[in-house]
Amino acid sequence: MGFRLWLAPLIAVLAVLAHAAGPDPDATTFAENDVKAAFIYNFVHFVRWPDTTTHKPGDPFRYCVLDDTLAPLLAKALAGESVDGHALIVMRQPELRNVHECQILYLGEQATLGGLSQTELLRRIASQPILTVSDQSNFTARGGMIALIRKRGRIHPVINTDATDRTELRVSAKLLNLATLVRDSKGAAQ
């Protein structure tokens, strides 16, 4: 048991050093909505939009967020970020007639646009290159593309590949391999 002799001075030294002030990194935990915001932020890197929507240089890349909780979090996450010269911005209240300007559309549970139900809205924009995202478990069954659902204590993406394949959007292998894939016919996320 000689190691205890070796250990004692080490503990003593480190105990003294540990009083050096600084934030306690143990105190860092993550809220569920922060994790969702980080996921949505990341989608810009793991989905390809058709060249026709990568408009003029200088145009922003729009995250349209119809959710009062996530919108400020995403605004914070996107602040100062850009991809290929396009600033990433959050639009909180897009008009229905302008919805085609959204590259990502996040629909919270209560979200409506132009008086349409979410199912009607999803049907109307089904062929447009707009990545539709939500955290509602039945979202993919209603024609939505990506649902971020909580599964065994983790945030897990469910992707309706029929919905993405109807558009010119192309989801990366990394995201597809991570996700649960569903189709329209049995699109209910567990």
Partner 1 sequence: MPKPLLRPACCIGGLLPLVLCLAATPASAADNLSTLKQMSLDELADLRVSIATHRTERLEDTAAAVFVLTAEDIRRAGATTLPELLRTVPGLNVARISATEWAVSARGFNNQFANKLLVMVDGRSVYTPFFSGVLWDELNIVMQDIERIEVVRGPGGSTWGANAVNGVINILTRHAEDTQGSQVSVVAGPLQSELVARNGFKAGEAGFARVWAKAHQQDRLHMPADGDTADTRWRGGRAGFRGDWDLGSSTLMLEGETFREMKPDEREYSGAHLLGQWARTAGDSRDELRGYFNRFTLDRWAVMGNGAKAQLDTFDLSYRHLFAEWGMHSLIAGAGYRSVNSEAQMVPPSAVTRANRTDQLLSAFAEDTLSLAERLKLTLGVKVEDNDYTGIEWQPSARLRWTLGTGGTLWASVARAVRTPSIIEDSARFISFVAPSRLTGGLPMSVTSNGSAQLNAEKLTAYEMGYRIQLTPKLSVDATVFLNDYDRLVTVDMIGRPNLVPTPTPSLSWNAVTGNQLQGQAHGFELAADYRPAETWRLQASYAYLDLNLKARPGNSEISPLRAEGESPRHQASLISRHDLRHDLELDLQARYVSALTTYTIPDYLTADLRLGWRATSRLDLALNGRNLIGPARKEFGTNIVNASDAYLIPREYYLTANLRF
Beta strand ranges found along 51-179 (DSSP E): 61-66, 82-83, 86-91, 104-107, 131-134, 146-151, 154-160, 170-171
> Contacting partner 1 (CB under 8 A), which of 9, 25, 57, 58?
25
Nearest to 129 by CA among 101, 152, 89: 101
Residue with tokens 């969702």: 36
> Contacting partner 1 (CB under 8 A), which of 38, 87, 96, 126?
38
Judged by CB under 8 A, does residue 181 bind partner 1? yes
Q: Partners of 131 in the beta sheet? A: 104
> Who's near 131: CB < 8 A, 6+ residues apart?
43, 47, 49, 103, 104, 105, 145, 146, 164, 169
| Minimum distance of partner 1 from residue 56's CB (angstroms) | 21
Q: 149-166 burial by CB neighbour count: b if 16+ within 10 A, else e?
A: beeeeebbbbbbbbbbee
Judged by CB under 8 A, does residue 170 bind partner 1? yes
Site string for partner 1, 77-106 (x = CB under 8 A): x-----------------------------
| Minimum distance of partner 1 from residue 146's CB (angstroms) | 12
Give how many residues touch partner 1 by CB under 8 A. 62
CA end-to-end span of the chain: 54
Nearest to 94 by CA among 86, 104, 85: 104
| Minimum distance of partner 1 from residue 173's CB (angstroms) | 4
Judged by CB under 8 A, does residue 6 bind partner 1? yes
> Contacting partner 1 (CB under 8 A), which of 51, 52, 56, 152?
152
> Contacting partner 1 (CB under 8 A), which of 18, 52, 56, 93?
18
Give residues in contact with partner 1 (CB under 8 A): 3-4, 6-7, 10-11, 14-15, 17-32, 34-35, 37-39, 41-42, 45-48, 73, 76-77, 150-157, 159, 161, 164-165, 170-178, 180-181, 190
